[in-house]
Chains A and B, each alone.
Chain A
Amino acid sequence: MSAPTLTPAATATPVRRSRRFTMKPSTAVVYFIALIVVGFTLGPVIYGVLSGFRTNAQIAENPAGFPSPFVFFNYTGVLTNPSFWRYALNSTGIAVITTALVVICGVMAAYPLARYEFKYREGVFMVFVVGLLFPASVAIIPLFILITQNFHLGNTWIGIALPQAAFALPTTVVILRPFLQALPKELEEAAQLDGASRIGFFWRILLPLSGPGMVTVGVLAFVGSWNAYLLPLLLLGPQNKTLPLGVADFSSEHGSDTAGVFAFTSLAMIPALVFFLAMQKRIVNGLQGAVKG
């Protein structure tokens, strides 16, 4: 910045230049750990995608090898299979309904919890926090009875989207509440003076401003629903299967068609991945949560 800091920097520069390709031990450790983490994360994905290009014989011979030669029939087989597209449609439909339910209900629940002052506000909020700790698998049998016998929604998109949205709601409210609280109080007061009611403020000011927050929770809900296995497994029949169920289905039907499973899984990943990447920039914004006046 000012003169005193200039002098050591000037003397340090030639030293730094002479050992350009070495780094501080601490940095090296950080990079090493990062590489391991990336390896653990990306490794299975790359393995899956590559194995989709191999034949079952190749995989049996050398499970960790590269495809040689590349074969494409696994992927084309999956892509030309009508049940893959039906599963994809089911997955998309259920994920979209879940996301819509989560975002709409989540923001409507988070608004009063963030901006109204009432007696048991923290208590009600705690109910949502406790919801975070509730394992879905515990409720799976009662849920099955509730959905199929009481609501007669078994084996429907909405029947699976409802419980999924319910389980995603705690996370949503916990993320959205501080986000909505961060909006300056003056904004609400200005809207109040301008004649907007509380509902008017919600629609005209708060909703447009909480876009990034809603995208964040929306993406989380979408990806959660896309990957869900247990609930769909119990609630959905063969016609309405989602992609993750389809994988299991695929593998049992074709016995030892491991390469097919790899191809199927790789393809099933793509839509969620594309969705996530498209929204990623806004997620980061959403987590920052700042509104500049």
Chain B
Amino acid sequence: MATVTFDHATRVYPGTERPAVDQLNLHIEDGEFLVLVGPSGCGKSTSLRMLAGLEDVNGGRILIGDRDVTDVQPKDRDIAMVFQNYALYPHMSVADNMGFALKIAGTPKAEIRQRVEEAAKILDLTEYLDRKPKALSGGQRQRVAMGRAIVRQPQVFLMDEPLSNLDAKLRVQTRTQIASLQRRLGVTTVYVTHDQTEALTMGDRIAVLKGGLLQQVGTPREMYDTPANVFVAGFIGSPAMNLGTFEVKDGAAQVGSAQIPLERNVIAGMTEADGGKLTVGFRPESLDVVPAGTPGSFQVETNLVEELGSDAFLYGSLKGGVVGELSAGDSDQLIVRIDPRNVPMKGEVINVAIKAGQAHVFSAATGNRLS
């Protein structure tokens, strides 16, 4: 068991100006499940591959435990990796696939067999040990890939989007299995995904990357409750947070017809570059439906209601505002969580107010959190 430390680790691909991973500083505790998450091209896979030794490190260091592994061969780093397409050896049986690393290392046959069987038992693969990967389903192949990692009893597990080749239902199931397996084995794990739901549900801590830069690291709760900047705010959470940039007048943000009072230190944090504007964000569940005329409320015109049974989400536009001024995620609509038993019709206008203390305020210029 070991910690993992990225110390100003940088990777610049040959022929490119901008680093794919720029000065990454990250410390992962022993036994921790850390999820690297971000949109495609954010450098999360590159970071993982740097840790695996599959990518060169152009600057900084990477440590596993107290050992500097920056220039150590992948096989000598005592790590195991699960690939997105599993990378199982097609010509070997499941047992041979799982025992391959041990075989190369010259472990006695009896011990290989024993360790493979143990891992197969954990993963429910015992009856498939003599099959070839071709004769397995996607989920079984995924488990073999996990098994191959477990058998080696490494210090660190690296997982590169291991669930993205599974169908939606299996993905949710396997997600839980991997998370509980990791808790049981207690092996430090670095997990890469582009799916923020996976990140929230699996990780002890989450690291959000964008454009090769680390945006924020924290527990799922911290990421959800206090996103460090507009990007993290919009990225974490499903449905996404409503974000909009508004004028600040008399110590309050002008959202549609409503004024959102701002704290003194927020106003003090504003700079010239902001041009008297602030980015305000609030989650769909931070809105209350209130009677018309309630102070601090604004009007939303219903475009669509998505019913999920336990919840219902209303997609609408800010009445009297420009479309796109306030929107959630990639949509140009505002999302409000509403009582599923009391759903407004399309076109109906409702009044909503932000719950006290649940607005996130960011600088309009830098996108950094102010509140």
Contacts and interface: CB of A to CB of B under 8 A. Distances in A.
Nearest to A200: B104
A291 interface: yes
Interface residues of B, number: 26
A293 B54 contact: no
Contacts of B104: 194-196, 200
B87 A208 contact: no
A293 B87 contact: yes
Contact of B105 (A189, A195, A205): A195
Nearest to B80: A193
B169 interface: no
Contact of A187 (B54, B75, B87): B87
Contacts of B86: 293
A184 interface: yes
Contacts of B75: 192-196
A195 B148 CA distance: 13
A89 interface: no
Contact of A292 (B52, B54, B80, B134): B134
B293 interface: no
Contacts of A293: 85-88, 90, 133, 141
B13 interface: no
Contacts of B152: 194
Interface in B34-81: 52-54, 74-75, 79-81
Contacts of A186: 83-85, 87
Contacts of A187: 87, 89
Contacts of B88: 293
A200 B101 CA distance: 12
A293 B97 CA distance: 12
Contacts of A195: 75, 101, 104-105
Nearest to B145: A190
A193 B52 contact: yes
Contacts of A45: none
A208 B90 CA distance: 9
A204 B84 CA distance: 22
B89 A205 contact: yes
- Interface size range on A against B: 10 to 19
Question: Which of A190, A192, A208 is the most central at the interface, judged by chain B CB atoms within 10 Å of its CB?
Answer: A190
A209 interface: yes
B91 interface: yes
A286 B157 CA distance: 36
A292 B105 contact: no
A129 B159 CA distance: 41
B54 A189 contact: yes
B71 to A, nearest CB: 15
B302 to A, nearest CB: 34
A190 B90 contact: no
Given A293-B88, A293-B90, A192 B74 contact: yes
B100 interface: yes
A205 B87 CA distance: 11
B36 to A, nearest CB: 18
Interface string B310-348: 000000000000000000000000000000000000000
A204 B134 CA distance: 18
Contact of A194 (B91, B101, B133, B141): B101
B87 A291 contact: no
Contacts of A291: 90
A195 to B, nearest CB: 4
Given A195-B75, A195-B101, A190 B54 contact: no
B81 A190 contact: yes
Interface in A156-191: 184, 186-187, 189-191
Interface in A263-293: 291-293
Interface string A182-224: 0010110111111110001000110011000000000000000
Contact of B87 (A184, A196, A209, A292): A184
Contacts of A196: 75, 100, 104
Contacts of A204: 100
B54 A192 contact: yes
Nearest to B141: A293
Interface string B106-135: 000000000000000000000000000110
Contacts of B148: 190, 194
Contacts of A189: 52, 54, 74, 81, 83, 87
A291 B86 CA distance: 13
A209 B132 CA distance: 13
A190 B148 CA distance: 10
A194 B112 CA distance: 14
A3 B101 CA distance: 53
Contacts of A208: 91
Contacts of A190: 81, 83, 87, 89, 148
A196 B133 CA distance: 20
B60 to A, nearest CB: 22
Shortest beta-carbon contacts, A-B, top 10: A186-B87, A194-B101, A195-B75, A190-B87, A195-B104, A208-B91, A186-B83, A193-B74, A187-B87, A194-B100
Interface of A: 184, 186-187, 189-196, 200, 204-205, 208-209, 291-293
Interface of B: 52-54, 74-75, 79-81, 83-91, 100-101, 104-105, 133-134, 141, 148, 152
30 contacts: A184-B85, A184-B87, A187-B89, A189-B54, A189-B74, A190-B83, A190-B87, A190-B89, A191-B89, A192-B74, A193-B52, A193-B53, A193-B54, A193-B74, A193-B79, A194-B104, A194-B148, A195-B104, A196-B75, A196-B100, A196-B104, A204-B100, A205-B91, A209-B91, A292-B90, A293-B85, A293-B87, A293-B88, A293-B90, A293-B133
Given A194-B75, A195-B75, 11 more contacts: A186-B83, A186-B85, A187-B89, A189-B52, A189-B81, A189-B87, A190-B83, A193-B52, A193-B54, A196-B75, A292-B90
